[in-house]
Amino acid sequence: MKPMLNVALPKGRLGERVYAMFEKAGFECPSIKETNRKLIFENEACGVRYFWVKPSDVAIYVARGAADIGVAGKDILLEYEPDVYELVDLHTGVCRMAVAAPKGFRYDPSRTLKVATKFSNIAKNYYASQGRDIDIIHLNGSIEIAPILGLSDVIVDIVETGITLKENDLEVIETVVPISARLIANKASFKFKNEQIEKIANSISMQVQAEANK
Ligand code: PRP
């Protein structure tokens, strides 16, 4: 019998969309659709076990081999640089990492820019690539408040619809990088469970193509 393939899915709407892609790839697990608080589901016949984890934790499970594959946002991959393979861009969960500031903000090159963010590594790399010196203020959420209260000059954060910025009188001043969900694999699993992983990666990549051609 083939070994079970362990899949970490991001809990929430994105995860449900992504599960549908795995299902189409032939790795269905009907019990996952039962509405309860269970976090692990398996279908022995298909040789697959799914678990719902916090989206920002998927890469940790995969990097350490607790999951063979998973789906993580490019933001998390860029921020934490986990040692995993990035196999497919799912073209879902699309948003961008951006610098935003209060309306009318003017950059003053004579002062060190104060940047509030949850994504310190991304912000650091972005400004370093431009040779700009910054002071990072790491926050864990509600980043939009920082420039309003004078804690920072700008923020580096995820922008999807732009509604959060708008409602807080902020606007995008620079785009750092586009973001979307990625299928990732543990490096050892990719070797030892290659057949199953390739099957999923190929099917999902074809589904993404078909969706793009619609
Ligand atoms: C992100 C981000 C913004 C918001 C942007 O937060 O930090 O607050 O989404 O979305 P919008 O452009 O559609 O308004 P998220 O909900 O991912 O989680 P968080 O509250 O933990 O930051």
Q: Give the model confidence (pLDDT) of 13-44 as tens digits.
A: 999 999 999 999 999 999 898 877 889 999 99
Query: Comparing C-alpha atoms, which of 98, 112, 103, 214 is closest to residue 169?
Result: 103
Whose alpha carbon is nearest atom 8 of ligand 1? 164
Would you say the CB of residue 140 lies under 6 angstroms from ligand 1? no
Q: For residues 136 and 113, what is the distance between their CA atoms, to the nearest angstrom?
A: 8
Instruction: Return the SS3 of 158.
Output: strand
- Tokens of residue 83, six digits: 């040692």
Q: How many helices (H) and strands (E) would you count in the chain?
A: 8, 11
Give the mutation target among 56, 142, 160, 165 for probing the ligand 1 site: most ligand atoms within 8 A of CB.
160
pLDDT, residue 176, reads: 98
The whole-model pTM stands at 0.94
Q: How far is the CA of 51 from the centre of ligand 1 (A)?
A: 24
Region class of 45: left (phi > 0), else alpha (psi between -120 and 50), else beta:
alpha
Per-residue pLDDT of the chain (214 residues; tens, 9 = 90+): 678 999 999 999 999 999 999 999 999 999 898 877 889 999 999 999 999 999 999 999 999 999 999 999 999 999 999 999 999 999 999 999 999 999 999 988 899 999 999 999 999 999 999 999 999 999 999 999 999 999 999 999 999 999 999 999 999 999 999 999 999 999 999 999 999 999 999 999 999 999 999 8
Query: Comparing C-alpha atoms, which of 87, 83, 89, 6 is closest to residue 49?
Result: 6
Q: Give the model confidence (pLDDT) of 1-10 as tens digits.
A: 678 999 999 9
Whose alpha carbon is nearest atom 7 of ligand 1? 158
Q: For residues 26 and 198, what is the distance between their CA atoms, to the nearest angstrom?
A: 12
Helix axes 194-212, 13-24, angle to 10 degrees: 110
